């Protein structure tokens, strides 16, 4: 990337700098990072953004959370379009779901069971979110999805 810098303080003359124009200081770094993030968000076609599975997962997760935060029916929550698209991502979504489950136990069990075709939740743990979460995280470690 090429940056432009002033040749001397107060000068109106700018020169291009190759690879040496790294932002210095917190404010400069923040502005540079926000510029990159904004450019990527607004200038990359959505099809290219979807090419990154993590970006796709996080976008769908945010959409799902916003659309279902007021619902109490597990069926309605799991039938949400964004949630179904996460399931449609297949096994590539498993590490992302398990990571989310580890941070914030929630309604990921339906998706995990749909994607994997397995149900490691012990009978006595059914209906107990914390224990169901522990069962799925144990499964994830055993299957190599969690290190």
d(CA 59, CA 95): 16
Q: Residue 116: pLDDT band by 50, 70, 90 thresholds? A: very high
pLDDT for position 24: 62
Residue 5 sits at φ, ψ, to 5 deg, of -130, 155
Among 2-11, 25-34, 68-77, the range scoring the smallest mean pLDDT is: 2-11
pLDDT for position 33: 75
Query: Residue 113 pLDDT > 90, yes or no?
Result: yes
- Residue 107 DSSP symbol: S
**What average pLDDT is seen over the chain?**
83
Assess contact for 29 and 23: CB atoms under 8 A.
yes
Q: Report pTM.
A: 0.66
Assess contact for 78 and 103: CB atoms under 8 A.
no
For the residues 124-135, what does the mean pLDDT come to? Answer: 96
pLDDT for position 38: 76
Residue 38 sits at φ, ψ, to 5 deg, of -65, -45
pLDDT for position 30: 77
For the residues 4-21, what does the mean pLDDT come to? Answer: 51
Query: Residue 124 pLDDT > 90, yes or no?
Result: yes
């Amino acid at each position: 990337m090429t940056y432009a810098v002033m040749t001397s303080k107060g000068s109106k003359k700018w020169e291009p700098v190759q690879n040496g124009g790294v932002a210095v200081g917190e404010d400069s770094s923040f502005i540079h990072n926000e510029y990159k993030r904004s450019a990527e968000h607004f200038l990359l076609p959505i099809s290219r953004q979807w090419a990154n599975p993590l970006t796709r997962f996080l976008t769908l997760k945010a959409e799902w959370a916003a659309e279902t935060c007021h619902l109490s029916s597990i069926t309605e929550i799991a039938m949400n379009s964004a949630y179904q698209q996460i399931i449609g991502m297949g096994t590539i979504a498993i590490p992302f779901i398990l990571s989310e489950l580890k941070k914030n136990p929630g309604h990921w069990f339906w998706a995990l069971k749909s994607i994997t075709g397995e149900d490691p939740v012990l009978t006595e743990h059914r209906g107990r979110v914390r224990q169901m979460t522990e069962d799925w995280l144990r499964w994830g470690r055993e299957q190599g999805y969690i290190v």
